[in-house]
Structure 1
């Protein structure tokens, strides 16, 4: 993992940061919000997905900057419900509402910006294991939206 930080000016005026590694990393936290970046990581390949997560205290915004990224939603009930898939389009904001089960598959060419509450953690973001049937549905939907 490599976080690149550059300071062309006084860092109290402007902070410039980026990321060139794999997976998820928070880049900037301020007060109640966080900006993070997500890139490809092997554990998020569609055939390796194990669970869906929901955030009990915040929405989560995804912005595809480049590449290919598939978002899977599992409803906002107590447990994972009907699963849907959407292939993100670059530079559109996708706001996953609080309490909505979701997971995702970033491709090797993708860079996604994520905005969420700074205190979003596993403690307020329960995960639920995917059943074998749900995994098959996700793989089928993935093929459909990426064909």
Structure 2
């Protein structure tokens, strides 16, 4: 299946991207699609956070790029989660933070679930609106 997400930057201006990605791709794949779609160079780390329907999220619930636990394998990372493990029709929202110093914060919501189209390459940037502030 193909998941279509809208990722909205938490900013005063309307800045968002629509992305299509295979549901069995990992959160790391989604991270890479988001950094590319928003024009980041990809040199900074990011994290995903599960959240409630009101977008409330907690730092301790983060899914990091790298295992930062005291014991190797203690913390599950982005590359170990398929997107559809966390996001589905009943749980459609994630918060994504890129560059943990600048805290670029994005609200990522599942907008549609569709069948994969032949001859399409995923992930794909479907729509882009607005530019990142300097």
The two structures have a TM-score, normalised by structure 1, of 0.27
State the structure with bigger RCO (CA 8 A, min sep 6), 1 or 2: 2
* Larger Rg computed on CA atoms: 1
